[in-house]
Structure 1
Amino acid sequence: MKKTTVLFSMMLLAGFVCLPNSMRATGRLEGRLALLPVTASPAPMPAAPQGKTPQWKSRAEYDAFQAFVKESDAQKRVSLIQDFIKKYSDSDFLANAYVAEMQSYVQINQTNNAIASANKALAADPNNLDALSYLSFTFPYTFKPSAANAAQELSTAGKNAEHGMEVLQTLQKPAGVSEEQFEKYVQPKTKRAVFNIAAGYAALMQKNYTQAIKFLEAASQDQPENVLIYSFLGQAYYNESPREVNKAIWSLARAATLAEAGHSQNAAELKKSFSQVYEAQHGSDAGEESVLTAAKTSDGMPASFNVAPPPQHAATGDTYLDGFYKIEDALMVGGDTAEQNWSQLKGQPLGLVGHVDSVDASGDPKNILVRVDITPDSQGKSGTYDIVLQDAQPNAKYLQPGDPLRFQGNIAAYTTTPNFTLTLSDVKIDEAVLKAAQEKAAAATQKKKR
C-alpha cells in the first residue's frame, strides 16, 4: 500500500471550506428597499453652492419653481420640474430642482429614475446632502456585484458616503431657520447612519473588512435596532483575518432577533445564517437559543461572550491514525461546514491500516462487510469499529477478529452515532493479508478433521 493515498486525502482536508455559503460576501442583502425619510415639501431647503448666495434671475423662474413645489400630484410634479430644468438650466436652484424630482420619483416608486435625478443633483452641487444621502441609502440594495462596472460603482459609492459625512459635519444652519427646523430637516443621526452603512457595505464588497467594521460599528451607535447593520457586521467579522468569530456570531444573532421582532421577510434566512456559523464554530446547535435570547435584549456583545470550538484530536505521529482523525474532525463539526467538507471527501480514495473487528459474509458474496478498528478507543472493544469495508474479494470471508490488514477504497458514507464510522466502497485489501487468512482458516479446518 502506498502512503501517497492517505496523504492525498489529507491534502484535501487542508482546503476544506470553513465559511458557510451564506456568509460569503456576495452582495446579497438581508432587507428590502424602503423610503428614506425626506422633507415634507417636494422641494428641499435651498442650499447654495460654496461661496455663493443663490439668486432668482427672474420672477418667471421663481414662479416656475413654486409651481412644482405646490403641486401635490407627484407625476404632474415631475413634468413641471422637467420643464423648469429645461427652461432654467443655469438656475442657482438647479440642484434643488433635481432633488425635488428625485423625491417625486421616490413617491411613485421609480427607484432608478430617483437615483438618476440624485446623480444630476450631485453634478450640479457636489455637496448636496439630500442627493448624497439618497444615493448612499439605495446603494446596498441596488448594487450588482456581477455588473461590468462593479468596481467603479463601489469606489464611487464609498467616496459619496465619506463625502456625505464630511458635508454633514460642516453643515451650518441657514439664516432664518430655527434649530428645531434644522434638526428635523437634516436628521443628522439618520443620515450619519446611512453614510456609514453605505461606506461599510462598499468596503465589505471590496473585501476591506477592517474598514467595513469601522464604518458599520459607527452606524450601529446611531441605529442599534437596524437589521442591515448587524447582518453586514456579521459578514465583515467572519471574513476578517484573523477571523473574529465571536463578534460575527453575536452580530448575526442580533440581526436574526431584530428581524424576527420586526416580522421581516428575511427573518428565517438570517436565523439560518446565524445557525450555520454558530454550528460551524461550536460543532453542534447546543446553546444557540441562549445566544439568541441574549442578543435580543442587548446590542453590545458581553465581554465574556465566547462560543467554544468543538474538540479536535491531537496529533499522534501515526500518519494513518492522524489522517482518520482529520476526516473525523472535519465531518463532526456539523452544519453547513460538515456538508461542504463531505462534498469534497465523498468518492475520494483513502488508504489505511487497522485490525479486523468482525466480518459479515452472510449476504451478497460480492459485498463482504469487513469492520475495522483504527483508533485505540475501538481496539479491544468487540462491536465498536471505525471503518466498514465493502469488499468483493472472496478471501475476505476468512479474515478473523484481530487480524492486521492494509486496505484502500473510496470514501462512500459516514455516520456519527453511536461513534464516528466511515464506509469505504470498491475496497482492495492487501492480497498477502487475505492469503494468510485463507491459509490460517485451512489449517484450522485440517486440525478439526484430525
Structure 2
Amino acid sequence: MKKLVIASVMALASLSLAPAPKVYAQDISIKDPAEYNAFQMFSSQNDPKQKVAAGESFLKQYPQSQVKNLVLDQMIDASQAAQDQASVVKYAGELLQVDPNNLKAILYSVVIKKQQCSAANGSDQATCDDAAAMAQKGLALQKPAAMAQPEWDKLTHAAFPIFHSAIALDDTVKKDSKAAQQEYTTELKSYSEDEAKSTGLNDTLLLAQAYAQPGSSQDLKQAIWFFARVWALAPAQYKAQIEPKLEYYYKKYHGGLDGLDEIKAKAATSVFPTADYNPPPAKSPQEQIHDLIASTPNLDTLALSDKETILGVGSKEDADKMWAVLQGKQTQVPGIVISATADQVQVAVTEDAKASKQADFIVNLKKPLTEAEQKIVQPGFEFKSAPDAMLVGTYDTYKQLPATDTTSASAQVVLKDGEFVPAEKKKATPAHHAPAARRPRH
C-alpha cells in the first residue's frame, strides 16, 4: 500500500543525543602503551569507514579494554555517518551488552528497527516487536546519578516521543487501534507547539488513521479533528491526498460538509480538540443513504465508494434499488490491491476498506494476467483512472457483510469479465476511450 508520509520523526542522520567526548591524553589512563597507542590511532581517524575498521581491530585485540564503551559509542557515530544502519544496530547492541542502560544505544536501535518495521508494512512482526520492546526499556530508564537533570531532560525530551511512536506502530501492526491511539496521544502531548507542527505532524496523521480504523475502537469525531489538523498544516502538495479522507469521514459522521471549514481553522491552532469542538452527528447511516437515493436522480452518477456504501449499509430496499442500476454494467475499480492471482484481483475501494486492508471488490478476470501484468498488479498497487493503469469489470453479484470488532458493515461486490488496462494501452489509443466522468467529492 502506498504510504502517505508528510514528515518523519527524527531522521537517524540528525540524531546526536550523546556524542562521545573528545579524548585527550589526560582523560584516560591505559597502562599498556600498545593499547594506548592503538586507542589514539582509532580516535584520530576522521573517515567513518576507516574509523569503524580501526575500532574493530582495537576491540578484537583488546576486548576487555576500559575504553570499550567509548570505542563502541564512536563506532555507532561512524557507522551512522557512513549510512550503514546494520552496523549502527550491531554496535548499539554490543554497547548495550556492556552498558544495558545506555540511552543513545537504545534510541538508535529503536529508530532503525522502527524504520524497518514501517518499511515492511506490517509483514515483519518480529522487528516491530523488537522496536517496541526496546522502546519500553528506554521509557523505563532512570536518570544516571552522575548526569545533571537538565541534560537528562534534554535527552528524554528527544528520545521518549520516538519510543511512544515505535510502540504505537507495533500496536497498529497488531491491529490494536485503542493502544495505538493512547501511545500516539502520549507522544503528541510531549511536544512543544512548534514540534507538534513539524516533527509530530506525521504521527498526528497516524493518530487520525488509528481513530478511523474500523472496529470497536473507531471514533470518527476524533479522527476528523486530527485529519483536519494535518490538512491545515501539511505542505500544499499533500493536501489533495488528505482531503478525501477528511471529507469521507466527516460526511460519514456528520452527513454533509457544512461546518468543516470551521473545524479546519480550529484544528490548525490546537493539537487536540478544543472545548467547543462538537460537530453534530448525522442521521443514522440508513437514513443518510435513503436521503441520498431520494436526492440523486441518476444513481449511476454516484462515486463508486458511495455505491458500495449503499450496497453495504443501506436497507435491503435501498440496496436493491442501487443494485438494479448497477448489475450488468461495466465500471472502473479505483482502489488498492489487497491480493491478486492470474485470474482474480481483490481491491479495497472505500476508505474503510483501505484502513482495514479488506477487499470490498473482487474482480474475476476475463483472461489471465500475463506474467508482466502480474508483476505490476501486486498487493499495495493502486488502481486510479486515466491516464494511469485501470481495472475494469462488470457488476455480477454482491452481499452485505455485518460489522465485526475490526471492520465496519460493508458490501462485498463481485465483478465478472474483468480486464487490466495498462497505462501504455490507453495512451496509445486515447480516441477509443471516453473522458472519465467527474466523480462527486465525498
Could you say whether these structures have the same fold, taking a TM-score greater than 0.5 normalized by the shorter chain as the test? yes
Match of 2:261 in 1: 289
Shift of 1:166: 0.8
Whole-angstrom CA distance in 1 between matches of 2:233 and 2:322: 45
Shift of 1:275: 3.7
1:340 is matched with which residue: 305, 327, 340? 305
Shift of 1:118: 2.5
Change (3 A) 1:254 1:64: farther
Change (3 A) 1:214 1:93: farther
Match of 1:192 in 2: 160
Higher RCO, Cα 8 Å, sep 6+: 1
- Report the more deviating stretch, 222-231 or 65-74: 65-74
Q: Number of matched residues?
A: 313
What is the one-letter code of the residue matched to 2:304? Answer: E
Whole-angstrom CA distance in 2 between matches of 1:66 and 1:249: 58
Whole-angstrom CA distance in 2 between matches of 1:99 and 1:313: 58
- Report the more deviating stretch, 153-162 or 269-278: 269-278
Whole-angstrom CA distance in 2 between matches of 1:235 and 1:387: 29
Match of 1:88 in 2: 62
The answer to whether the 8 A contact 2:143-2:149 is kept is no
The answer to whether the 8 A contact 1:162-1:199 is kept is yes
Shift of 1:165: 0.7
* 1:255 counterpart = 2:223: no
What is the one-letter code of the residue matched to 1:202? Answer: D
What is the one-letter code of the residue matched to 1:31? Answer: A
The answer to whether the 8 A contact 1:105-1:113 is kept is yes
* 1:201 counterpart = 2:118: no
CA RMSD of superposed structures (Å): 4.5
What is the one-letter code of the residue matched to 2:183? Answer: F
The answer to whether the 8 A contact 1:95-1:122 is kept is no
After superposition, residues 206-355 of structure 1 pair within 5 angstroms as 206-223=174-191, 224-225=196-197, 226-239=200-213, 241-260=216-235, 266=238, 268-312=240-284, 325=290, 328=293, 339-340=304-305, 342-343=307-308
The answer to whether the 8 A contact 1:282-1:308 is kept is yes
Match of 2:388 in 1: none
Structure 1: runs of 5+ lacking an equivalent: 1-21, 46-53, 316-321, 354-373, 375-385, 391-408, 415-424, 427-450
The answer to whether the 8 A contact 2:132-2:170 is kept is yes
Per-residue CA deviations over 1:191-223 (Å, capped at 9, x if unaligned) read 111111111221122122222222222211222
Shift of 1:160: 0.5
Whole-angstrom CA distance in 2 between matches of 1:172 and 1:77: 29
SS of aligned partner of 2:327:
strand
What is the one-letter code of the residue matched to 1:38? Answer: S
Match of 1:117 in 2: 91
Whole-angstrom CA distance in 1 between matches of 2:168 and 2:323: 51
Match of 1:151 in 2: 125
Whole-angstrom CA distance in 2 between matches of 1:27 and 1:37: 24
Shift of 1:145: 7.1
2:74 is matched with which residue: 100, 103, 121? 100
What is the one-letter code of the residue matched to 1:204? Answer: T
Shift of 1:38: 0.7
What is the one-letter code of the residue matched to 2:176? Answer: N
Whole-angstrom CA distance in 2 between matches of 1:296 and 1:313: 29
The answer to whether the 8 A contact 2:168-2:181 is kept is yes
Change (3 A) 1:307 1:339: farther
Per-residue CA deviations over 1:87-128 (Å, capped at 9, x if unaligned) read 223335434433322222222333343233333333443322
Whole-angstrom CA distance in 1 between matches of 2:268 and 2:293: 35
Change (3 A) 1:209 1:73: same
Shift of 1:149: 7.0
Change (3 A) 1:126 1:178: closer
What is the one-letter code of the residue matched to 1:37? Answer: L
The answer to whether the 8 A contact 1:56-1:62 is kept is yes
What is the one-letter code of the residue matched to 1:72? Answer: N
Change (3 A) 1:258 1:325: closer
Shift of 1:231: 1.7
Change (3 A) 1:290 1:63: farther
Shift of 1:338: 5.8
The answer to whether the 8 A contact 1:237-1:247 is kept is yes
Identical positions, percent: 19
Whole-angstrom CA distance in 2 between matches of 1:314 and 1:110: 55
Match of 1:394 in 2: none
Whole-angstrom CA distance in 1 between matches of 2:29 and 2:212: 52
Match of 1:8 in 2: none
Structure 2: runs of 5+ lacking an equivalent: 332-394, 397-442
Change (3 A) 1:55 1:202: farther
Whole-angstrom CA distance in 2 between matches of 1:387 and 1:342: 7
Change (3 A) 1:81 1:327: same
SS of aligned partner of 1:187:
helix
Change (3 A) 1:179 1:302: closer
Shift of 1:86: 2.4
Match of 1:78 in 2: 52
2:140 is matched with which residue: 156, 161, 166? 166
Shift of 1:143: 1.3
Per-residue CA deviations over 1:203-260 (Å, capped at 9, x if unaligned) read 1221222222222222112223311221221122222623211111212222333333
SS of aligned partner of 2:234:
helix
Whole-angstrom CA distance in 2 between matches of 1:44 and 1:188: 23
What is the one-letter code of the residue matched to 1:298? Answer: S
Larger Rg: 1
Whole-angstrom CA distance in 2 between matches of 1:172 and 1:125: 12
The answer to whether the 8 A contact 2:113-2:127 is kept is no
The answer to whether the 8 A contact 1:173-1:179 is kept is no
